Amino acid sequence: MPKNAISVTLQGENLTWLRARARSGYARSVSDALDRLVTEARTGAVGRDVRSVVGSIDVDASDPLLLEADDVLRDLFVGSLGRPYAVKERPSTYRTRKGKARG
């Protein structure tokens, strides 16, 4: 589908956000980013960004007010400390002086 050139006036914050979105790899240019946003809004397509956390957490029905949450989290943390984990340290790099050898 051919594209048509138009002029768009945006608030400064929106233009800054759109430029950052284009630079982040979301789009090839500001025009492409704007075109993608309009297409997503028009078609109802889901973008790459998550905009809400609603429905991402399940609350235990036996403790809807999370009165036991501190104890549960503490037990999870203590349990995680008991698991082994790999630690990798980078060896120190030493630089040698280049130049004439001392004799």
What's the domain range around 38?
Answer: 12-43
Reported pTM: 0.42
Residue 92 is predicted with a pLDDT of 74
29 domain-assigned: yes
pLDDT in tens, 43-85: 876 655 656 677 778 888 898 899 999 998 899 988 888 878 7
**Which residues are CB-contacts of 37 (< 8 A; sequence separation ≥ 6)?**
18, 47
19 domain-assigned: yes
The residue whose two tokens read 């943390």 is 77
The residue whose two tokens read 């004439």 is 100
| pLDDT exceeds 90 at position 9 | yes
3 domain-assigned: no
Q: On the CB side of 89, how many CA atoms lie within 13 Å of its CA?
A: 3
65 domain-assigned: no
